[in-house]
Amino acid sequence: MAAKERLSSSMEDYLEAILHISAEKQAARAKDIAKRLKVNNSSVTSALRLLSEKGLVNYAPYDIITLTAQGKKRAEEIARRHETLKDFFVKILLIDETEAEKASCKMEHVISNKILDRLISFVEFVEICPRGGKEWLRGFRRHCEGDDISASCEDSISLCLEDLRKKAQAFKNSQQEAVLLKEMDAGQRGKILQIKGHGEINKRLSAMGVSSGSIVEVEGRALQEERIEIKVRGYHLSLRNEDAAKISVEPYN
Amino acid sequence: MAAKERLSSSMEDYLEAILHISAEKQAARAKDIAKRLKVNNSSVTSALRLLSEKGLVNYAPYDIITLTAQGKKRAEEIARRHETLKDFFVKILLIDETEAEKASCKMEHVISNKILDRLISFVEFVEICPRGGKEWLRGFRRHCEGDDISASCEDSISLCLEDLRKKAQAFKNSQQEAVLLKEMDAGQRGKILQIKGHGEINKRLSAMGVSSGSIVEVEGRALQEERIEIKVRGYHLSLRNEDAAKISVEPYN
DNA sequence: TTAAAAAGTTAGATACATCAAACTTTTTGC
DNA sequence: GCAAAAAGTTTGATGTATCTAACTTTTTAA
Ligand SMILES: [Mn+2]
Ligand SMILES: [Mn+2]
Ligand SMILES: [Mn+2]
Ligand SMILES: [Mn+2]
């Protein structure tokens, strides 16, 4: 396999666009891409030729456009960066959707993996640590709105002192029970305790930096409850129940 | 005055480099710039010609290189973006210097002002709100190192429950006394309460988005204690004591 | 003072991203 | 089935960033 060549920001955007259009429609057409990226049709043709040369898209003149396996992987990686940044902007910095969307699509091309990883950990930590959470972010919102930071914090603290004790207790209690990922409900979050066996999933997960200690969130079910959809380290995954049964989790909520 | 034209990332880097070299030496020479930016000498010549055309650098063949007033302003703005990002990476995300340096110099060119502003507020909030602070970040560090998030948080909380009450009290107390900025010590931080009068400083500060409510940090003194050096909203400023006496502050620590 | 070294510039090339205008192929609707 | 519309491509242009190699100016130091 060819070494993972550096792609320009533009080419990354083309891949990302193709991924999203493919998910929405059956096939991506040049015009859809042009529209989405606000570029001229002819620019799309050039881009496709280049990406095709690099083995990232399947393309022949006048034909429909699909991503190769490699191209899909790259595109998904870009989408992950995009989503992670946007999440941080929206959930933590309390930036509005539109602005967050625009900004993340610019920054996704230059953020390093290490920082991306930390950002994921940070958002997890803020959301899960009882000392952070919604009340704390409410304090931040007030601070942003020019409110007295003392008041924002104080409020947050008085709200918090009792609350925190309760949260901490609940948190401690929840630690006792381990559950199989398979059994968790949509919206639930928890920490991976163990991944049994050495099969496919194990490889797939560790390739993404997922291991015991990682925070996992159940996003939903699919295919007549045959599969569980999860998010971990910014990746959206779909696992067979069979595989999800091999993962034990300590749930948080 | 010409409308603030969009500069390419490269040109921004050239400006930033010239600013830093000028601060270190008397004058910037093409070779220093080339070395710093790891580009060929001839690339520097082209860049300088372009920046000179735009009125951002003073340049003539074989002559020394300086920033124009306009160029300096732009360069300082870029340095501010750079520093703000780096601060966030180092102080909050706990990224090492080298990586943070590299990353911020890439991202500085694409981050929006709105997000930059929020990032500044966020770092302020984390550092000042008693519910955040060092203990909380220690919890985050442990989480990053793969430690149990429960343990990280729990630790942080038990450390915190008592501590927090004290901090909250101290915080509340500190609220009473207002102090003149002029009188604050290096390292002290506080919230601006009022900026008296309508002179120069008032204009300068409000142009940077500084107003009552903004968090200010005293960085030091200069010119035989004649001036006070502060940091506010990511800007490094030097004020005459005379002017600093017009600003009342509620100190935090 | 002057020749060699260092610094800086110019010329010419490659690569990328984009566009408008002219052209070709495919699709659509009668 | 076929003409018009829509979609896609080619051509040729501009603008940016960079390089190497050849050349010029300035600095240094013998
Ligand atoms: Mn993008
Ligand atoms: Mn994107
Ligand atoms: Mn930079
Ligand atoms: Mn920089």
* Max Cα distance, chain B (Å): 66
pLDDT of B83: 98
pLDDT of B156: 60
Q: Residue A168 above 70 pLDDT?
A: no
Q: Count Cβ atoms within 10 A of the Cβ of residue B242 and give its class: 0-12 exposed, 13-18 middle, 19 or more buried.
A: exposed
Q: Which CATH class is domain A9-74?
A: mainly alpha
Phi, psi of B227 (to 5 degrees): -130, 155
CB-based contacts with strand D under 7 Å? A 29-31, 41-42, 44-46, 48-49, 61-63; B 8-11, 38-43, 46-47, 50, 62
Range B47-66 average pLDDT = 96
> Are the CB atoms for B189 and B179 separated by under 8 Å?
no
Tell me the sheet residues that pair with B217: B189, B231
Give the span between the Cα atoms of B251 and B216, in whole angstroms. 9
Q: Which of A187-201, A225-239, B129-143, B184-198 has the highest mean pLDDT?
A: A225-239
What Å value separates CA A78 and C1' C16? 20
What Å value separates CA B197 and C1' D17? 49
Sketch the domain layout of chain A as residue ranges.
9-74, 133-147+155-173, 179-251
Tell me the sheet residues that pair with B249: B179, B192
> Are the CB atoms for B188 and B253 separated by under 8 Å?
yes
pLDDT of A133: 77
Q: Residue B71 above 90 pLDDT?
A: yes
pLDDT of A60: 95
- State the residue for tokens 């991944």: A195
Q: In this predicted model, which residue has the larger pLDDT, A222 or B235?
A: B235
| pLDDT band of A1, cuts 50, 70, 90 | low
Q: Residue B180 above 60 pLDDT?
A: yes
Separation in Å, CA of B218 to nearest CA in chain A: 18
Chain B residue with CA closest to A94: the answer is: B118
Separation in Å, CA of B250 to nearest CA in chain A: 10
Give the span between the Cα atoms of A2 and B21, in whole angstroms. 41
pLDDT of B112: 96
Looking at every residue in chain B, the average pLDDT score rounds to: 88
Phi, psi of B189 (to 5 degrees): -125, 150
pLDDT of A184: 94
Least confidently predicted of A210-214, B109-113, B178-182: A210-214
> Are the CB atoms for B128 and B252 separated by under 8 Å?
yes
pLDDT of A132: 79
Residue range A202-245, pLDDT digits in tens: 888 998 989 888 899 999 998 888 999 999 999 999 999 999 99
Range B146-160 average pLDDT = 62
Least confidently predicted of A123-132, B23-32, B141-150: B141-150
Range B193-204 average pLDDT = 87
Give the span between the Cα atoms of B97 and B89, in whole angstroms. 9
CB-based contacts with strand C under 7 Å? A 8-11, 38-43, 46-47, 50, 62; B 29-31, 41-42, 44-46, 48-49, 59, 61-63
Q: Residue B153 above 90 pLDDT?
A: no
Tell me the chain A residues in contact with residue B139 when contact means C-beta distances shorter than 8 Å.
Answer: 125, 129, 131
Q: Which of A102-106, A213-217, B129-133 has the highest mean pLDDT?
A: A102-106
Of all residues in chain A, the percent with pLDDT exceeding 70 is 86
CA dihedral A214, A215, A219, A224 (to 10 degrees): 50
Query: Is the four-CA dihedral A94, A96, A101, A107 of positive or negative sign?
Result: negative
- State the residue for tokens 């995954």: A237
Q: Count Cβ atoms within 10 A of the Cβ of residue A18 and give its class: 0-12 exposed, 13-18 middle, 19 or more buried.
A: buried
| pLDDT band of B72, cuts 50, 70, 90 | very high
What Å value separates CA B44 and C1' C20? 33
Give the span between the Cα atoms of A73 and B113, in whole angstroms. 32
Least confidently predicted of A59-63, A145-149, B193-197: A145-149
Give how far the C-alpha of residue A189 lies from the chain's centroid of Cα atoms, to the nearest Å.
14
Q: Residue B58 above 90 pLDDT?
A: yes
For A221, residues 6+ apart whose C-beta sits below 8 A from its C-beta are A186, A227, A228, A229
Q: In this predicted model, which residue has the larger pLDDT, A84 or B2?
A: A84
Q: Residue A107 above 60 pLDDT?
A: yes
Closest CA to A194 of A246, A235, A121: A246
pLDDT of B26: 81
The pair of structure tokens assigned to A127 is 């959301």
Question: Long-range contacts: A232-236, Cβ < 8 Å, 24+?
Answer: A232/A192, A232/A205, A232/A208, A233/A117, A233/A120, A233/A208, A233/A209, A234/A80, A234/A83, A234/A84, A234/A116, A234/A120, A235/A80, A235/A208, A235/A210
Instruction: Compare CB distances from A157 to B152, B164, B175 and report the shortest one's residue.
Output: B164
Range B4-12 average pLDDT = 93
Chain A residue with CA closest to B251: the answer is: A150
| Ligand 4 ion: residues within 5 Å (CB) | B 16, 82, 105, 108
pLDDT of A235: 95
Range A25-36 average pLDDT = 94
Q: Which CATH superfamily is domain B179-251 in?
A: Ferrous iron transport protein A (FeoA) (2.30.30.90)
Q: Residue A106 above 60 pLDDT?
A: yes
Do the chains contact at B149 and A136, CB–CB below 8 Å?
Answer: no
Q: Residue A139 above 80 pLDDT?
A: no
pLDDT of A137: 79
Tell me the chain B residues in contact with residue A150 when contact means C-beta distances shorter than 8 Å.
Answer: 171-172, 175, 191, 250
Give the span between the Cα atoms of A113 and B7, in whole angstroms. 27
pLDDT of B165: 66
pLDDT of B46: 97
> Are the CB atoms for A129 and B131 separated by under 8 Å?
no
Other Cβ atoms within 10 Å of B82 Cβ, number: 23
Do the chains contact at A112 and B102, CB–CB below 8 Å?
Answer: yes
Range B18-44 average pLDDT = 96
Range B75-101 average pLDDT = 96
What does the DSSP assignment read for chain A? Answer: --------HHHHHHHHHHHHHHHHSSSB-HHHHHHHHT--HHHHHHHHHHHHHTTSEE--TTS-BEE-HHHHHHHHHHHHHHHHHHHIIIIIS---HHHHHHHHHHHTTT--HHHHHHHHHHHHHHHHSTTSHHHHHHHHHHHHTT--HHHHHHHHHHHHHHHHHHHHHHHHHHTT--EEGGGPPTT-EEEEEEE-SSSHHHHHHHHTT--TT-EEEEEEEETTTTEEEEEETTEEEEEEHHHHTTEEEEE--
Tell me the chain A residues in contact with residue B213 when contact means C-beta distances shorter than 8 Å.
Answer: 146-149
Least confidently predicted of A242-251, B98-107, B158-167: B158-167
Q: Residue B84 above 90 pLDDT?
A: yes
Give the span between the Cα atoms of A211 and A227, in whole angstroms. 20
Q: Residue A89 above 90 pLDDT?
A: yes
| pLDDT band of A11, cuts 50, 70, 90 | very high
pLDDT of B223: 87
Tell me the sheet residues that pair with A216: A190, A232
Tell me the chain A residues in contact with residue B108 when contact means C-beta distances shorter than 8 Å.
Answer: none
> Are the CB atoms for A30 and A39 separated by under 8 Å?
no
Range A184-195 average pLDDT = 91
Range B134-145 average pLDDT = 78
What Å value separates CA A21 and C1' C22? 29
* Nearest ligand to the C-alpha atom of residue B8: 3
Q: State the distance from the centre of ligand 2 to the C-alpha of A57, rounded, in angstroms.
A: 18
> Are the CB atoms for B131 and A160 separated by under 8 Å?
yes
Three-class SS state of B120? helix
| pLDDT band of A134, cuts 50, 70, 90 | confident
Do the chains contact at B128 and A99, CB–CB below 8 Å?
Answer: no
Least confidently predicted of A150-159, A192-201, A205-214: A150-159
pLDDT of B247: 94
Looking at every residue in chain A, the average pLDDT score rounds to: 88
- State the residue for tokens 């703005």: B77
Q: Which residue is nearest to nucleotide C10 (CA to C1')?
A: B42
Separation in Å, CA of A36 to nearest CA in chain B: 20
Do the chains contact at A93 and B118, CB–CB below 8 Å?
Answer: yes
pLDDT of B1: 54
